[in-house]
Amino acid sequence: MESLQGLLLALIIMVFGTTTHLIQAQPDPKDFISLDCGLHPAASPYTEPLTKLTYTSDANFTQGGQSGRVQKSFEEDYKPFTVLRYFPDGIRNCYNLKVILGTKYLIKALFLCGNYDGLRDAPKFDLYLGPNIWTTSKWQDGPVVATTIRVRFPPCGNYSASSGHQSGKTTPIISALELRPLRDDTYNTTSGSLMLFKREFASDNFSPPFIRVNASTPYELPQEVISKAVVNQNVTEKLSFDWYVDDRKDQAFIYLHFAEIQTLRGNDTREFDITWEGDNENFTVSAYLPPKLQLETLYNPYPMKCTFLECTVELVMTKSSTLPPMINAMEAYKIIDFPDAETNPEDVAAVQNVRDTYEISRIDWQGDPCVPQMFKWEGINCSYTNTTIPPRIISLDLSSSGLEGLIASSIQNLTHLQELDLSNNNLSGEVPEFLANMESLLLINLGWNSLAGPIPEALRDREKKGLKLTVQGNPNLCLSGSCNNNNEKVLVPVIASVASVAALVALLVLIFVFRKKTPLAEGTAAATTRELPRKSSIYSRKKRFTYSEVVELTDNFKRVLGEGGFGVVYHGSLNDTEPVAVKVLSESSVQGYKEFKAEVELLLRVHHINLVNLVGYCDEGGHLALIYEYMANGDLKQHLSGESAGSTLKWASRLKIAVEAAQGLEYLHVGCEPPMVHRDVKSTNILLDDRFEAKLADFGLSRSFCVGAETQVATVVAGTPGYLDPEYYQTNWLNEKSDVYSFGIVLMEMITNRSVIELTREKAHIAEWVKILISRGDLEKIVDTNLGGDYDSTTVWKILELAMSCVSHSSSDRPTMSKVVNVLKECLISENSRIKGGQVQDDDSKNSLELNVDFGTQVTPDAR
């Protein structure tokens, strides 16, 4: 039998259950899927010379991976073996192929490593068909695997330790993937699918020229295969072949393909008995005569178990025969089961739609979302009742995922969803009504987005029935039922004169809600926020830049914006449109490269309207840079001193900036998981964007950074002198209240417009100095004269009081940032109503909860 050639290892799955589309006619070659994995799309498609089939690139069917090429000495005649795709990233990589439901497929996955990486690494990885393991690819020089399938989500490989290799893990590879629909009346089994053990056919052994066999049988073997046959020239000998199974319990099937290809003379006959002795049963066909030039396939109708792992089939010439037995081709399979059900297809479609809507490109978000369970998508939980019952998606966590736009309507198709977390994104638009109709929902977190408008009444009703709804941190969301901001555009021109009243009404509502939501007991807000599920999730857009990209986007470091804590900051622009600030870090500022990377990865996930957004970073070959959104209007300190605009900020503007900065800080303390301490809150770290929206900069970095130039304190304690919490300084024990202390100092700067440390003053430190003046009742001296008395003194004293409590020596006496935010908001609201109601103001009146305050219009000359 040397003449029989080993072909490919293959596997066949039978389709059970819904057979919606049986193929009885010959399958159409246009339904064949033949992918040459790793093939460059420009070289696709091509006609394979041996099989004459059309192969295409796999680029459209998989997300990850890179192209490799086998070394010359490994190249095979079969062209798809030349290039391959390897998957260096992710624990699971998938191909998604559309197949006809209910149809039996032959699936082949082909692998030829060919030392593509020059490492002679022996890949070892698992191959899955949907949720079910198919095989583990153990590497030799040129193995091949194949199967059939009934599902949408075919093979996924995962890394595994490779024996005998120091690297520990190996990278999955694949050379080609082929799917052939099969007729439903072929490869019958009683249960399960079929895995190919052995498939053999004749090479050039016995092949009369120019014969043509009628191959129109369900099994459709290629003409090249059946127009040749194997015989034993020694007529006295029987023809036999054998193979081995892995397990005595394996159930085997053989398919024997015959066609008489020899022209027999009148008195010649070819007749033989076929026997296969099994453990459980014998398979015998007596006095078989292969039909003339006509393919026929024989198989055992019941599964056979082999004796002692060895299966032997014998073809023995009968006494009346004049010619020896022959065979054209044989295939031996065993039954394998793919018992686990795929995720409910509607859930799959819905979650894929969500993924595509938001362009989420997490590496693990491919293939089936729920199964195999150990590879389920991050951020998703499913119900697994019983492996034969399709899992359902029961929770979806897309918090901190950089989502923008409306809340995707496809979410409503996740009908079994119990928990939905969309917090910490930049979702806009209204809270959709459909959420109220999703009956399984128990928890919805929409916090920290940019949602606007009212909350649907139906959703409020659900809340009364126990639904936990979180909408905190959406400044434009209308929390009472009585707002109708839809009419804003129409109303403004018409009722401009009463707009201020409308604003007042809206604001009063807001106050009411805030009061009601956060009763005076501090920490309630923080506690409720912490309860929320806020798991980390990977936010993956392009975040990592090469050094040459940094050079390009800064136009070769052309424009210096300033010198920050850790290095020089340059102006740059992304795609020539989006301005950015690029902070090039001096190497000495980074204490540990690993910490730097971990910290940056963490910061990339933090998104809040009042925090300067980290857009990306560069860490190539000793070049370290952080890329931030560009803040067009500098920092708070410049504006207080009048250094930038030549005039100083009005009181209401200062309050607004304080509210915004405080919100950013509150978010770091209670909105982030894990909570973060800023460590370097100061007026130069409060930046203003082109719309004079305040954002905190440089948060979270001090853990792995020495705080740079401004720090004279040469200790391990990070922070800037004057702003540094004395308790932290003494105990070296850092917590959120240290930020509260620093923020209190900023509030004092805001009120006084004096330097934090001024050696020529009675008391050098601003807190000490303010304290002395208060004790003397010298209040007028405290307030910045540039304000020209244009403020409501009650709010100023209230802020002063707040600032004093923030700088309490003992951290336990300091308020939380949530409390600080509330007090500041109340003061801002009353200051704005003072401006709008009292003094005659310009027509800067918008019916909006987002207070628009003018900047730089004050003409009071700077005192200095």
Residue list for the binding site for ATP: 583
Q: Enumerate residues 145-184 that contact ligand NAG by CB under 6 A.
A: 158, 160
One character per residue 184-213, x = contact with ligand NAG (rule: CB under 6 A)? -x--x-------------------------
* Residue type, position 187, single letter: Y
Q: Which stretch binds ligand NAG (CB under 6 A): 14-22, 383-391, 513-521, 830-838?
A: 383-391
680 has catalytic annotation: yes
Contact between 224 and ligand NAG by CB under 6 A: the answer reads no
Q: How far apart are the first and last CA of the chain?
A: 102
SS3 letters across 259-278:
CECCCCCCCCCECEEEEEEE
Q: How many residues does the chain have?
A: 864
In this structure, which amino acid lies at residue 813? Answer: D
The answer to the question of residue 47 lying near ligand NAG (CB under 6 A) is no
**Among residues 619, 680, 698, 725, which one is catalytic?**
680
Is 323 among the residues that bind ligand NAG (CB under 6 A)? no
Asked if 240 touches ligand NAG (CB under 6 A), the answer is no
Nearer to ligand NAG, 374 or 716 (CB): 374
Q: Which stretch binds ligand NAG (CB under 6 A): 402-410, 538-546, 564-572, 799-807?
A: 402-410
Name the amino acid, one letter, at 511: I
Instruction: Name the 3-class secondary structure at 244.
Output: strand
DSSP string, 380-446: EEEE-S-TTSPPEEEEEE-TTS--EESPPGGGGG-TT--EEE--SSEE-SPPPGGGGG-TT--EEE-
Main-chain phi, psi angles of 780, to 5 degrees: -60, -35
Residue type (1 letter), 593: Y
Mark 343-372 with x for binding to ligand NAG (rule: CB under 6 A) and - for no binding: ---x---x--x-------------------
Q: What is the DSSP string of 792-843?
A: -HHHHHHHHHHHHHHT-SSGGGSPPHHHHHHHHHHHHHHHHHIIIIIS---S
User: Looking at 36, 126, 635, 831, which residue binds ligand NAG (CB under 6 A)?
Assistant: 126
Chosen residue from 47, 66, 203, 322 binding ligand NAG by CB under 6 A: 322
Kindly give the interhelix angle for 651-666 and 736-752, rounded to the nearest 10 degrees: 170
CB of 264 to ligand NAG, least distance (A): 10
User: Side chain identity at 548, as an amino acid letter?
Assistant: S
Indicate the residue among 125 and 728 with the shorter CB distance to ligand NAG. 125
Please work out the total of residues on this chain that contact ligand NAG, with binding judged by CB under 6 A.
50
- The full 3-state SS of 509-554, as one line of letters, equals HHHHHHHHHCCCCCCHHHHHHHHCCCCCCCCCCCCEECHHHHHHHC
The nearest distance, CB 297 to ligand NAG, in angstroms, is 8
Q: Which of 768, 750, 647 is nearest to 694 (CA)?
A: 750
Please, what is the minimum distance in Å from the beta carbon of residue 497 to ligand NAG? Answer: 30
Contact between 123 and 137 under an 8 Å Cβ cutoff? The reply is: yes
Neighbours of 292 (CB within 10 A): 14
Using the rule CB under 6 A, is 457 a contact of ligand NAG? no
From CA 263, how far away is CA 207, in angstroms rounded? 12
Query: Contact region for ligand NAG (CB under 6 A) — 62-70, 121-129, 169-177, 811-819?
Result: 121-129
260 binds ligand NAG (CB under 6 A): no
Nearer to ligand NAG, 266 or 838 (CB): 266
- Residue with smaller CB distance to ligand NAG, 158 or 738: 158
Nearer to ligand NAG, 234 or 497 (CB): 234
Site string for ligand NAG, 525-564 (x = CB under 6 A): --------x-x-----------------------------
Q: Give φ, ψ of 746 to 5 degrees.
A: -60, -40
Which residues carry out catalysis? 680
The residue ranges that bind ligand NAG (CB under 6 A) are 41, 44, 56-57, 59-60, 124-126, 136, 158, 160, 185, 188, 214, 216, 234, 236-237, 265-267, 277, 281-282, 294, 322, 346, 350, 353, 374, 379, 381, 386, 388-389, 395, 397, 404, 409-410, 413, 419, 426, 428, 450, 533, 535, 609, 613
